[in-house]
Protein backbone atom coordinates (compact mmCIF):
# COMPACT_ATOMS: atom_id res chain seq x y z
CA UNK A 1 0.00 0.00 0.00
CA UNK A 2 1.52 3.37 -0.97
CA UNK A 3 2.19 5.76 1.85
CA UNK A 4 0.92 9.31 1.47
CA UNK A 5 2.52 12.24 3.16
CA UNK A 6 -0.13 14.90 3.77
CA UNK A 7 1.32 18.37 4.29
CA UNK A 8 -1.17 21.02 5.44
CA UNK A 9 -0.04 24.55 4.71
CA UNK A 10 -2.02 27.35 6.36
CA UNK A 11 -1.08 30.57 4.61
CA UNK A 12 -1.98 33.72 6.54
CA UNK A 13 -1.63 36.09 3.63
CA UNK A 14 -4.92 36.55 1.74
CA UNK A 15 -4.83 35.63 -1.93
CA UNK A 16 -2.26 32.83 -1.50
CA UNK A 17 -3.13 29.14 -1.98
CA UNK A 18 -4.24 27.07 1.02
CA UNK A 19 -3.44 23.48 0.04
CA UNK A 20 -2.21 20.03 0.97
CA UNK A 21 0.17 17.96 -1.16
CA UNK A 22 -0.02 14.20 -1.59
CA UNK A 23 3.01 12.20 -2.66
CA UNK A 24 1.13 10.60 -5.53
CA UNK A 25 -0.92 13.56 -6.81
CA UNK A 26 -1.79 17.16 -6.01
CA UNK A 27 -4.79 16.91 -3.68
CA UNK A 28 -6.30 18.90 -0.85
CA UNK A 29 -8.32 16.65 1.43
CA UNK A 30 -10.04 17.63 4.68
CA UNK A 31 -10.36 14.89 7.27
CA UNK A 32 -12.58 17.02 9.53
CA UNK A 33 -14.75 20.14 9.38
CA UNK A 34 -12.49 23.19 8.99
CA UNK A 35 -13.36 26.87 9.41
CA UNK A 36 -12.03 29.42 6.94
CA UNK A 37 -12.46 33.22 6.95
CA UNK A 38 -13.42 34.96 3.71
CA UNK A 39 -13.65 38.70 4.28
CA UNK A 40 -16.24 39.26 7.01
CA UNK A 41 -17.64 35.75 6.81
CA UNK A 42 -16.74 32.42 8.39
CA UNK A 43 -17.33 29.37 6.21
CA UNK A 44 -16.88 25.68 6.98
CA UNK A 45 -15.16 23.25 4.63
CA UNK A 46 -16.91 19.98 5.45
CA UNK A 47 -15.05 16.79 6.25
CA UNK A 48 -14.14 14.58 3.25
CA UNK A 49 -14.10 17.59 0.90
CA UNK A 50 -11.34 17.31 -1.68
CA UNK A 51 -9.90 19.46 -4.47
CA UNK A 52 -6.62 20.14 -6.22
CA UNK A 53 -6.07 23.40 -4.31
CA UNK A 54 -7.86 26.28 -2.63
CA UNK A 55 -7.06 30.01 -2.58
CA UNK A 56 -8.63 32.40 -0.08
CA UNK A 57 -9.01 35.98 -1.29
CA UNK A 58 -10.36 39.11 0.40
CA UNK A 59 -13.94 38.49 -0.75
CA UNK A 60 -13.85 35.05 -2.35
CA UNK A 61 -12.45 31.56 -2.20
CA UNK A 62 -11.20 29.82 -5.37
CA UNK A 63 -11.47 26.02 -5.41
CA UNK A 64 -9.68 24.11 -8.15
CA UNK A 65 -11.66 20.94 -8.87
CA UNK A 66 -10.48 17.80 -10.57
CA UNK A 67 -12.69 15.25 -12.29
CA UNK A 68 -13.04 13.35 -8.98
CA UNK A 69 -13.44 16.30 -6.59
CA UNK A 70 -16.42 16.63 -4.26
CA UNK A 71 -16.18 19.82 -2.20
CA UNK A 72 -18.81 20.99 0.30
CA UNK A 73 -18.71 24.56 1.64
CA UNK A 74 -21.14 25.51 4.41
CA UNK A 75 -22.31 28.73 6.09
CA UNK A 76 -23.73 28.39 9.61
CA UNK A 77 -25.20 31.89 9.14
CA UNK A 78 -27.19 30.50 6.15
CA UNK A 79 -25.66 32.94 3.64
CA UNK A 80 -26.10 32.71 -0.10
CA UNK A 81 -22.89 31.46 -1.70
CA UNK A 82 -22.70 32.82 -5.24
CA UNK A 83 -20.29 31.34 -7.77
CA UNK A 84 -19.16 31.51 -11.38
CA UNK A 85 -20.86 28.21 -12.21
CA UNK A 86 -24.54 27.25 -11.85
CA UNK A 87 -24.10 25.66 -8.43
CA UNK A 88 -27.14 26.49 -6.30
CA UNK A 89 -27.02 27.38 -2.62
CA UNK A 90 -28.99 24.78 -0.66
CA UNK A 91 -31.20 26.61 1.90
CA UNK A 92 -33.36 23.66 2.94
CA UNK A 93 -31.76 23.36 6.39
CA UNK A 94 -32.64 25.87 9.11
CA UNK A 95 -29.19 25.37 10.68
CA UNK A 96 -26.98 26.20 7.70
CA UNK A 97 -26.73 26.82 3.97
CA UNK A 98 -24.24 25.02 1.78
CA UNK A 99 -23.00 24.48 -1.74
CA UNK A 100 -21.70 21.17 -3.08
CA UNK A 101 -19.12 21.48 -5.88
CA UNK A 102 -18.39 18.68 -8.34
CA UNK A 103 -16.82 18.57 -11.77
CA UNK A 104 -16.09 16.29 -14.68
CA UNK A 105 -12.89 18.10 -15.58
CA UNK A 106 -10.28 20.36 -14.03
CA UNK A 107 -11.74 23.82 -13.45
CA UNK A 108 -11.72 26.65 -10.91
CA UNK A 109 -14.90 27.63 -9.09
CA UNK A 110 -14.94 31.03 -7.36
CA UNK A 111 -17.35 31.11 -4.41
CA UNK A 112 -18.33 34.52 -3.00
CA UNK A 113 -20.21 34.64 0.33
CA UNK A 114 -22.80 37.44 0.36
CA UNK A 115 -24.60 39.49 2.98
CA UNK A 116 -27.89 37.94 1.87
CA UNK A 117 -29.21 35.23 4.17
CA UNK A 118 -31.53 32.33 3.31
CA UNK A 119 -35.13 33.16 4.10
CA UNK A 120 -36.69 31.73 7.29
CA UNK A 121 -39.04 28.78 6.80
CA UNK A 122 -42.17 27.32 8.33
CA UNK A 123 -44.04 30.57 9.04
CA UNK A 124 -47.58 29.88 10.29
CA UNK A 125 -50.29 32.19 11.62
CA UNK A 126 -53.17 31.31 13.94
CA UNK A 127 -55.79 33.60 15.46
CA UNK A 128 -55.84 33.96 19.24
CA UNK A 129 -59.03 35.97 19.64
CA UNK A 130 -60.61 38.93 17.93
CA UNK A 131 -57.58 41.21 18.31
CA UNK A 132 -54.55 38.89 18.17
CA UNK A 133 -52.79 36.52 15.78
CA UNK A 134 -49.93 34.33 16.98
CA UNK A 135 -47.03 33.60 14.59
CA UNK A 136 -44.61 30.68 14.74
CA UNK A 137 -41.77 29.62 12.44
CA UNK A 138 -38.73 27.39 12.41
CA UNK A 139 -35.70 28.82 14.20
CA UNK A 140 -32.71 29.36 11.89
CA UNK A 141 -29.07 28.79 12.82
CA UNK A 142 -27.01 31.96 13.11
CA UNK A 143 -30.06 34.14 13.83
CA UNK A 144 -29.83 36.72 16.62
CA UNK A 145 -33.40 37.96 16.14
CA UNK A 146 -36.24 38.10 13.60
CA UNK A 147 -38.06 41.10 12.13
CA UNK A 148 -41.81 40.73 11.63
CA UNK A 149 -43.68 42.47 8.78
CA UNK A 150 -47.44 42.82 8.27
CA UNK A 151 -49.82 43.79 5.47
CA UNK A 152 -53.58 43.82 4.98
CA UNK A 153 -53.24 42.63 1.38
CA UNK A 154 -51.54 39.55 -0.02
CA UNK A 155 -48.36 40.52 -1.85
CA UNK A 156 -48.90 44.15 -0.80
CA UNK A 157 -46.66 46.60 1.01
CA UNK A 158 -45.40 44.94 4.20
CA UNK A 159 -44.49 47.18 7.15
CA UNK A 160 -42.17 46.32 10.04
CA UNK A 161 -44.26 45.83 13.19
CA UNK A 162 -41.77 44.33 15.65
CA UNK A 163 -39.05 41.79 16.31
CA UNK A 164 -38.59 38.59 18.27
CA UNK A 165 -35.61 36.78 19.75
CA UNK A 166 -37.47 33.47 19.58
CA UNK A 167 -39.32 31.70 16.78
CA UNK A 168 -42.72 33.11 17.78
CA UNK A 169 -44.50 36.46 17.95
CA UNK A 170 -47.94 37.76 19.00
CA UNK A 171 -49.44 40.37 16.69
CA UNK A 172 -51.92 42.31 18.83
CA UNK A 173 -54.31 45.26 18.60
CA UNK A 174 -55.96 43.92 15.45
CA UNK A 175 -59.39 44.57 13.98
CA UNK A 176 -61.93 41.74 14.31
CA UNK A 177 -63.02 39.78 11.21
CA UNK A 178 -59.99 41.04 9.24
CA UNK A 179 -57.37 39.05 7.32
CA UNK A 180 -53.73 39.92 8.03
CA UNK A 181 -50.67 38.79 6.07
CA UNK A 182 -47.20 38.29 7.55
CA UNK A 183 -43.62 37.77 6.46
CA UNK A 184 -40.42 37.57 8.52
CA UNK A 185 -36.72 38.16 8.00
CA UNK A 186 -33.76 36.71 9.86
CA UNK A 187 -31.30 39.19 11.41
CA UNK A 188 -27.79 38.05 12.35
CA UNK A 189 -25.43 39.67 14.83
CA UNK A 190 -23.86 42.08 12.32
CA UNK A 191 -27.28 43.39 11.25
CA UNK A 192 -27.54 41.58 7.91
CA UNK A 193 -31.07 40.64 6.85
CA UNK A 194 -32.35 37.61 5.00
CA UNK A 195 -34.81 37.63 2.15
CA UNK A 196 -38.49 37.71 3.12
CA UNK A 197 -39.92 34.38 4.21
CA UNK A 198 -42.95 32.95 2.46
CA UNK A 199 -46.25 34.63 3.29
CA UNK A 200 -48.63 33.42 6.01
CA UNK A 201 -52.07 34.77 6.86
CA UNK A 202 -55.03 34.34 9.15
CA UNK A 203 -58.34 36.05 9.85
CA UNK A 204 -59.34 37.32 13.26
CA UNK A 205 -62.74 36.01 14.39
CA UNK A 206 -65.80 38.21 14.57
CA UNK A 207 -65.86 40.41 17.66
CA UNK A 208 -67.89 38.77 20.40
CA UNK A 209 -70.90 40.97 21.15
CA UNK A 210 -70.38 43.92 18.79
CA UNK A 211 -68.25 45.56 16.12
CA UNK A 212 -65.47 47.04 18.22
CA UNK A 213 -61.95 46.55 16.96
CA UNK A 214 -60.08 45.91 20.23
CA UNK A 215 -60.02 42.56 22.01
CA UNK A 216 -60.64 44.34 25.32
CA UNK A 217 -63.03 46.88 23.79
CA UNK A 218 -62.63 50.57 22.97
CA UNK A 219 -62.80 51.39 26.63
CA UNK A 220 -64.58 54.72 26.52
CA UNK A 221 -67.77 53.33 28.07
CA UNK A 222 -67.71 52.08 31.67
CA UNK A 223 -67.42 48.34 32.18
CA UNK A 224 -70.12 46.44 33.99
CA UNK A 225 -69.71 44.36 37.15
CA UNK A 226 -71.32 41.68 39.27
CA UNK A 227 -71.59 39.20 36.41
CA UNK A 228 -72.99 35.82 37.51
CA UNK A 229 -74.61 32.83 35.81
CA UNK A 230 -76.94 30.14 37.14
CA UNK A 231 -77.22 27.04 34.93
CA UNK A 232 -79.78 24.23 34.70
CA UNK A 233 -79.82 21.07 32.60
CA UNK A 234 -80.20 22.93 29.30
CA UNK A 235 -80.83 26.51 30.50
CA UNK A 236 -78.91 29.37 32.12
CA UNK A 237 -79.63 32.85 33.46
CA UNK A 238 -76.96 35.55 33.38
CA UNK A 239 -77.22 38.69 35.53
CA UNK A 240 -75.07 41.81 35.94
CA UNK A 241 -75.05 45.38 37.22
CA UNK A 242 -73.97 48.66 35.65
CA UNK A 243 -74.67 51.48 38.09
CA UNK A 244 -74.82 53.88 35.15
CA UNK A 245 -78.21 55.28 34.14
CA UNK A 246 -76.74 56.58 30.85
CA UNK A 247 -76.09 53.08 29.50
CA UNK A 248 -78.68 52.09 26.96
CA UNK A 249 -77.43 48.74 25.71
CA UNK A 250 -75.78 45.60 26.93
CA UNK A 251 -74.03 43.41 24.35
CA UNK A 252 -73.85 39.67 24.95
CA UNK A 253 -71.99 36.88 23.11
CA UNK A 254 -72.11 33.13 23.71
CA UNK A 255 -69.63 30.54 22.42
CA UNK A 256 -68.49 27.03 23.33
CA UNK A 257 -64.85 28.07 22.86
CA UNK A 258 -63.45 31.48 23.73
CA UNK A 259 -62.61 33.44 20.58
CA UNK A 260 -64.61 31.22 18.23
CA UNK A 261 -67.57 32.23 16.10
CA UNK A 262 -70.42 33.58 18.22
CA UNK A 263 -73.62 31.55 18.57
CA UNK A 264 -76.02 34.16 19.96
CA UNK A 265 -75.97 37.94 20.35
CA UNK A 266 -78.58 39.86 22.37
CA UNK A 267 -78.98 43.60 22.85
CA UNK A 268 -80.77 44.35 26.13
CA UNK A 269 -81.66 47.23 28.41
CA UNK A 270 -82.37 44.79 31.26
CA UNK A 271 -79.70 43.41 33.54
CA UNK A 272 -80.42 39.72 33.00
CA UNK A 273 -80.77 37.25 30.16
CA UNK A 274 -82.44 33.82 30.20
CA UNK A 275 -81.00 31.19 27.85
CA UNK A 276 -82.78 28.04 26.68
CA UNK A 277 -82.10 25.19 24.29
CA UNK A 278 -78.50 24.70 25.45
CA UNK A 279 -76.63 21.39 25.34
CA UNK A 280 -76.57 19.38 28.57
CA UNK A 281 -73.26 19.00 30.39
CA UNK A 282 -71.56 21.65 28.23
CA UNK A 283 -69.28 24.52 29.23
CA UNK A 284 -70.10 27.87 27.60
CA UNK A 285 -67.99 31.02 27.45
CA UNK A 286 -69.83 34.33 27.57
CA UNK A 287 -69.04 38.03 27.66
CA UNK A 288 -71.17 40.95 28.84
CA UNK A 289 -70.18 44.47 27.73
CA UNK A 290 -71.62 47.93 28.18
CA UNK A 291 -72.56 50.07 25.20
CA UNK A 292 -73.75 53.66 25.49
CA UNK A 293 -76.09 55.59 23.21
CA UNK A 294 -73.22 56.85 21.05
CA UNK A 295 -71.96 53.33 20.31
CA UNK A 296 -68.92 53.29 22.62
CA UNK A 297 -68.31 49.77 23.96
CA UNK A 298 -66.75 49.03 27.34
CA UNK A 299 -64.31 46.34 28.38
CA UNK A 300 -65.15 42.70 29.05
CA UNK A 301 -63.76 39.58 30.66
CA UNK A 302 -64.28 35.97 29.65
CA UNK A 303 -66.73 34.12 31.91
CA UNK A 304 -67.99 30.53 31.86
CA UNK A 305 -70.85 28.38 33.08
CA UNK A 306 -71.53 24.65 32.71
CA UNK A 307 -75.00 23.23 32.19
CA UNK A 308 -76.01 20.27 34.32
CA UNK A 309 -77.64 17.07 33.10
CA UNK A 310 -76.22 14.15 31.19
CA UNK A 311 -74.92 14.83 27.70
CA UNK A 312 -76.44 12.78 24.91
CA UNK A 313 -74.54 9.66 23.89
CA UNK A 314 -72.37 10.67 20.96
CA UNK A 315 -73.03 9.02 17.65
CA UNK A 316 -70.65 6.34 16.47
CA UNK A 317 -67.93 8.06 14.49
CA UNK A 318 -67.99 7.50 10.77
CA UNK A 319 -65.30 5.34 9.26
CA UNK A 320 -62.37 7.60 8.31
CA UNK A 321 -61.93 8.30 4.65
CA UNK A 322 -59.28 6.35 2.78
CA UNK A 323 -55.90 8.15 3.15
CA UNK A 324 -54.65 10.16 0.18
CA UNK A 325 -51.60 7.86 0.05
CA UNK A 326 -52.52 4.18 -0.30
CA UNK A 327 -50.42 1.61 1.55
CA UNK A 328 -50.15 -0.82 -1.36
CA UNK A 329 -50.61 -0.98 -5.10
CA UNK A 330 -49.75 1.32 -7.99
CA UNK A 331 -49.07 5.00 -7.53
CA UNK A 332 -52.21 7.09 -8.04
CA UNK A 333 -52.56 10.66 -9.36
CA UNK A 334 -51.45 13.34 -6.93
CA UNK A 335 -53.93 15.21 -4.75
CA UNK A 336 -55.73 18.39 -5.84
CA UNK A 337 -53.30 20.43 -3.76
CA UNK A 338 -50.61 19.63 -6.32
CA UNK A 339 -52.68 20.86 -9.26
CA UNK A 340 -52.21 24.57 -8.71
CA UNK A 341 -50.97 26.77 -11.54
CA UNK A 342 -47.38 27.35 -12.52
CA UNK A 343 -45.18 30.44 -12.67
CA UNK A 344 -42.27 31.05 -15.07
CA UNK A 345 -39.23 32.83 -13.63
CA UNK A 346 -35.76 33.92 -14.67
CA UNK A 347 -33.01 35.63 -12.71
CA UNK A 348 -31.87 39.13 -13.66
CA UNK A 349 -29.05 38.90 -16.21
CA UNK A 350 -29.71 35.20 -16.95
CA UNK A 351 -31.44 33.52 -19.89
CA UNK A 352 -32.28 30.37 -17.91
CA UNK A 353 -36.04 29.83 -17.48
CA UNK A 354 -37.52 27.96 -14.51
CA UNK A 355 -41.06 26.69 -14.06
CA UNK A 356 -42.33 27.09 -10.49
CA UNK A 357 -45.09 24.67 -9.54
CA UNK A 358 -46.27 23.62 -6.08
CA UNK A 359 -43.71 26.04 -4.60
CA UNK A 360 -40.79 24.16 -6.22
CA UNK A 361 -38.74 24.87 -9.33
CA UNK A 362 -37.49 22.94 -12.35
CA UNK A 363 -35.35 24.15 -15.27
CA UNK A 364 -36.85 24.59 -18.75
CA UNK A 365 -33.85 23.25 -20.59
CA UNK A 366 -34.39 24.39 -24.17
CA UNK A 367 -36.60 26.49 -26.42
CA UNK A 368 -38.15 23.25 -27.72
CA UNK A 369 -39.12 22.25 -24.16
CA UNK A 370 -40.48 25.76 -23.59
CA UNK A 371 -42.61 25.75 -26.75
CA UNK A 372 -43.66 22.12 -26.36
CA UNK A 373 -45.01 22.90 -22.89
CA UNK A 374 -47.21 25.68 -24.26
CA UNK A 375 -45.45 28.36 -22.25
CA UNK A 376 -45.47 32.00 -23.38
CA UNK A 377 -42.67 34.56 -23.12
CA UNK A 378 -45.06 37.19 -21.74
CA UNK A 379 -45.61 35.05 -18.63
CA UNK A 380 -41.94 35.05 -17.59
CA UNK A 381 -41.29 36.96 -14.35
CA UNK A 382 -37.79 38.37 -13.79
CA UNK A 383 -36.60 38.19 -10.16
CA UNK A 384 -33.29 38.54 -8.33
CA UNK A 385 -30.89 35.61 -8.22
CA UNK A 386 -31.34 35.44 -4.46
CA UNK A 387 -35.13 35.20 -4.81
CA UNK A 388 -34.84 32.43 -7.40
CA UNK A 389 -32.24 30.58 -5.34
CA UNK A 390 -34.58 30.70 -2.35
CA UNK A 391 -37.01 28.41 -4.21
CA UNK A 392 -36.14 24.75 -3.63
CA UNK A 393 -35.71 22.41 -6.59
CA UNK A 394 -38.39 19.77 -7.11
CA UNK A 395 -37.47 16.12 -6.59
CA UNK A 396 -40.84 14.45 -7.29
CA UNK A 397 -42.53 15.00 -10.68
CA UNK A 398 -45.40 13.57 -12.67
CA UNK A 399 -47.83 14.37 -15.48
CA UNK A 400 -51.42 15.16 -14.60
CA UNK A 401 -53.81 12.21 -15.03
CA UNK A 402 -50.88 9.78 -15.31
CA UNK A 403 -50.11 7.64 -12.23
CA UNK A 404 -46.35 7.40 -12.87
CA UNK A 405 -44.24 9.35 -10.36
CA UNK A 406 -40.57 10.07 -11.03
CA UNK A 407 -37.86 10.82 -8.48
CA UNK A 408 -35.13 13.28 -9.56
CA UNK A 409 -31.58 12.66 -8.34
CA UNK A 410 -28.31 13.92 -9.82
CA UNK A 411 -30.36 15.53 -12.62
CA UNK A 412 -31.61 12.08 -13.68
CA UNK A 413 -35.14 10.73 -13.32
CA UNK A 414 -36.37 7.27 -12.43
CA UNK A 415 -39.90 5.92 -12.10
CA UNK A 416 -40.91 4.60 -8.68
CA UNK A 417 -42.55 1.26 -9.41
CA UNK A 418 -45.01 1.15 -6.50
CA UNK A 419 -46.44 3.05 -3.55
CA UNK A 420 -44.55 0.70 -1.23
CA UNK A 421 -41.26 2.02 -2.66
CA UNK A 422 -42.53 5.61 -2.39
CA UNK A 423 -43.40 5.11 1.29
CA UNK A 424 -40.19 3.19 2.01
CA UNK A 425 -38.19 6.30 1.07
CA UNK A 426 -40.50 8.40 3.33
CA UNK A 427 -41.33 10.77 0.47
CA UNK A 428 -43.95 13.52 0.80
CA UNK A 429 -47.03 13.01 -1.38
CA UNK A 430 -47.79 16.76 -1.24
CA UNK A 431 -44.39 17.66 -2.72
CA UNK A 432 -45.16 16.12 -6.13
CA UNK A 433 -44.97 18.74 -8.91
CA UNK A 434 -47.29 18.15 -11.86
CA UNK A 435 -45.49 19.41 -14.96
CA UNK A 436 -45.55 19.04 -18.74
CA UNK A 437 -44.36 15.98 -20.65
CA UNK A 438 -41.60 17.97 -22.44
CA UNK A 439 -40.12 19.10 -19.08
CA UNK A 440 -40.14 15.52 -17.77
CA UNK A 441 -38.61 14.24 -21.01
CA UNK A 442 -35.78 16.78 -20.71
CA UNK A 443 -34.41 14.75 -17.77
CA UNK A 444 -32.57 11.62 -18.90
CA UNK A 445 -33.48 8.31 -17.30
CA UNK A 446 -30.95 7.33 -14.61
CA UNK A 447 -28.49 4.90 -16.28
CA UNK A 448 -26.40 3.60 -13.37
CA UNK A 449 -27.44 2.36 -9.95
CA UNK A 450 -25.83 1.20 -6.71
CA UNK A 451 -27.25 -1.51 -4.47
CA UNK A 452 -25.14 -2.37 -1.46
CA UNK A 453 -21.59 -2.50 -2.81
CA UNK A 454 -22.62 -3.55 -6.33
CA UNK A 455 -22.87 -1.20 -9.33
CA UNK A 456 -25.36 -1.73 -12.17
CA UNK A 457 -26.23 -0.35 -15.62
CA UNK A 458 -29.92 -0.15 -16.64
CA UNK A 459 -30.82 -1.00 -20.21
CA UNK A 460 -33.85 0.21 -22.23
CA UNK A 461 -35.88 -2.78 -21.03
CA UNK A 462 -35.45 -1.74 -17.36
CA UNK A 463 -33.06 -4.64 -16.75
CA UNK A 464 -29.99 -4.14 -14.55
CA UNK A 465 -26.55 -5.45 -15.54
CA UNK A 466 -23.80 -5.69 -12.94
CA UNK A 467 -20.33 -4.18 -13.38
CA UNK A 468 -18.05 -6.96 -12.08
CA UNK A 469 -15.14 -4.54 -11.46
CA UNK A 470 -14.58 -0.82 -10.95
CA UNK A 471 -12.15 -0.88 -13.88
CA UNK A 472 -14.96 -1.93 -16.27
CA UNK A 473 -17.26 0.72 -14.74
CA UNK A 474 -14.65 3.43 -15.37
CA UNK A 475 -13.76 2.11 -18.81
CA UNK A 476 -17.41 2.53 -19.86
CA UNK A 477 -17.06 6.27 -19.13
CA UNK A 478 -19.22 6.39 -16.01
CA UNK A 479 -18.59 8.48 -12.87
CA UNK A 480 -19.45 7.35 -9.34
CA UNK A 481 -20.89 10.83 -8.78
CA UNK A 482 -23.83 9.90 -11.03
CA UNK A 483 -24.70 6.66 -9.23
CA UNK A 484 -28.27 6.39 -7.90
CA UNK A 485 -28.43 4.32 -4.68
CA UNK A 486 -31.53 2.12 -4.36
CA UNK A 487 -32.78 0.25 -1.31
CA UNK A 488 -33.62 -3.45 -1.12
CA UNK A 489 -37.30 -2.94 -1.95
CA UNK A 490 -36.67 -0.87 -5.07
CA UNK A 491 -33.92 -3.23 -6.21
CA UNK A 492 -36.42 -6.10 -6.30
CA UNK A 493 -38.58 -4.10 -8.76
CA UNK A 494 -35.88 -4.52 -11.44
CA UNK A 495 -34.94 -7.61 -13.36
CA UNK A 496 -31.22 -8.50 -13.32
CA UNK A 497 -29.56 -9.70 -16.52
CA UNK A 498 -26.08 -10.73 -17.56
CA UNK A 499 -23.16 -8.82 -16.12
CA UNK A 500 -21.19 -6.37 -18.22
CA UNK A 501 -17.82 -7.53 -19.60
Q: Left, alpha or beta for 306 (phi > 0: left; psi -120 to 50: alpha)?
A: beta
| pLDDT for residue 269 | 57
From the list 170, 104, 119, 185, the residue with the least C-alpha distance to 384 is 119
Those residues with Cβ within 8 angstroms of residue 315's Cβ, 6 or more apart along the chain or in another chain: none
Kindly state the percentage of the chain with pLDDT values over 90: 21
**Last residue of one domain, picked from the residues 114, 129, 162:** 114
- The β-bridge partners of 290 are 250
| 82-137 pLDDT, tens digit each | 998 888 899 888 889 999 999 888 999 999 999 888 999 999 998 876 678 899 99
Residue 258 lies in a domain: yes
Burial of 142: CB neighbours in 10 Å, binned 0-12, 13-18, 19+: buried
| Same domain? 94 vs 38 | yes
| 312-367 pLDDT, tens digit each | 665 565 554 433 444 444 444 333 334 446 788 889 988 888 988 877 888 988 88
| pLDDT for residue 20 | 39
| pLDDT for residue 264 | 45
Asked whether the beta carbons of 17 and 11 are under 8 A apart, the reply is yes
Q: Across the chain, what does the average pLDDT equal?
A: 78
Those residues with Cβ within 8 angstroms of residue 248's Cβ, 6 or more apart along the chain or in another chain: 269, 291, 292, 293
Compute φ and ψ for 362, nearest 5 degrees. Answer: -145, 145
Tell me the average pLDDT across 36-52: 93
| Same domain? 160 vs 229 | no
| Same domain? 13 vs 109 | yes
Residue 331 lies in a domain: no
Tell me the average pLDDT across 486-498: 90
CA distance readout (Å), 248 to 242, 292, 371, 420? 10, 5, 70, 68
| pLDDT for residue 128 | 74
| Same domain? 130 vs 107 | no
| Same domain? 142 vs 179 | yes
Q: pTM above the 0.75 mark?
A: no
Residue 312 lies in a domain: no
Chain-centre distance for alpha carbon 356: 15
Residue 411 lies in a domain: yes
Tell me the average pLDDT across 197-207: 81
| 146 has a pLDDT exceeding 80 | yes
Those residues with Cβ within 8 angstroms of residue 382's Cβ, 6 or more apart along the chain or in another chain: 345, 346, 347, 348
| pLDDT for residue 302 | 67
| Same domain? 422 vs 344 | yes
| 210 has a pLDDT exceeding 80 | no
Residue-number span of the structural domain to which 408 is assigned = 336-441
| pLDDT for residue 26 | 43
Those residues with Cβ within 8 angstroms of residue 279's Cβ, 6 or more apart along the chain or in another chain: 234, 307, 311, 312
DSSP letters of 239-287?
EEE---TTEEEEEEEEESSTTS--SEEEEESSSEEEE-SPPTT-EEEEE
The CATH number assigned to the domain holding 231 equals 2.60.40.10
Those residues with Cβ within 8 angstroms of residue 84's Cβ, 6 or more apart along the chain or in another chain: 109, 110
| Same domain? 433 vs 471 | no
**Last residue of one domain, picked from the residues 114, 138, 153:** 114
Residue 387 lies in a domain: yes
Question: Among 85-94, 154-163, 249-258, 463-472, which is the least confidently predicted range?
Answer: 249-258
| Same domain? 453 vs 403 | no
**Last residue of one domain, picked from the residues 98, 114, 130:** 114
| Same domain? 12 vs 90 | yes
Number of domains observed in the structure of the chain: 5
| Same domain? 148 vs 172 | yes
Residue 358 lies in a domain: yes
Higher pLDDT, residue 221 or 439: 439
Question: Among 46-50, 276-280, 492-496, which is the least confidently predicted range?
Answer: 276-280
| pLDDT for residue 290 | 67
Residue 318 lies in a domain: no
| 22 has a pLDDT exceeding 70 | no
| 229-282 pLDDT, tens digit each | 888 888 888 887 765 544 546 555 565 544 443 444 455 556 777 777 778 888
Residue 84 lies in a domain: yes
| Same domain? 272 vs 296 | yes
| pLDDT for residue 305 | 84
CA–CA gap between residue 228 and residue 238 (Å, rounded) = 6
Q: What is the 3-state secondary structure (H, E, C) of 152-213?
A: CCCCCCCEEEEEECCCEEEEECCCCCCEEEEEEEEECCCCCEECCCCCEEEECCCCCCCCCC
Amino acid sequence: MPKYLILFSFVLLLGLPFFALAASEDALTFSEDTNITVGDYTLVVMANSSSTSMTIGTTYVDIVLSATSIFTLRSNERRYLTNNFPFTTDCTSNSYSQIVLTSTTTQTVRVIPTSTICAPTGLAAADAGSSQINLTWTAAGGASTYNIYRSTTSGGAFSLIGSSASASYSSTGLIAATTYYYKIKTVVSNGDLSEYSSEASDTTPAFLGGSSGGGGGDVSSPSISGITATAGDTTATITWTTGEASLSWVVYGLTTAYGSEQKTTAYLTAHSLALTGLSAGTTYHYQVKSKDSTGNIGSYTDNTFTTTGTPATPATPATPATPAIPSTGALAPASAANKTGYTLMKATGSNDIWVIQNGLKLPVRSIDVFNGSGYGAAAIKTVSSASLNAVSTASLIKIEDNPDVYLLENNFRRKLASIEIFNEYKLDWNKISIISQPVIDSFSYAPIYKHGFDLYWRDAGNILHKFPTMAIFTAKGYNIRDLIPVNDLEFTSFSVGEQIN
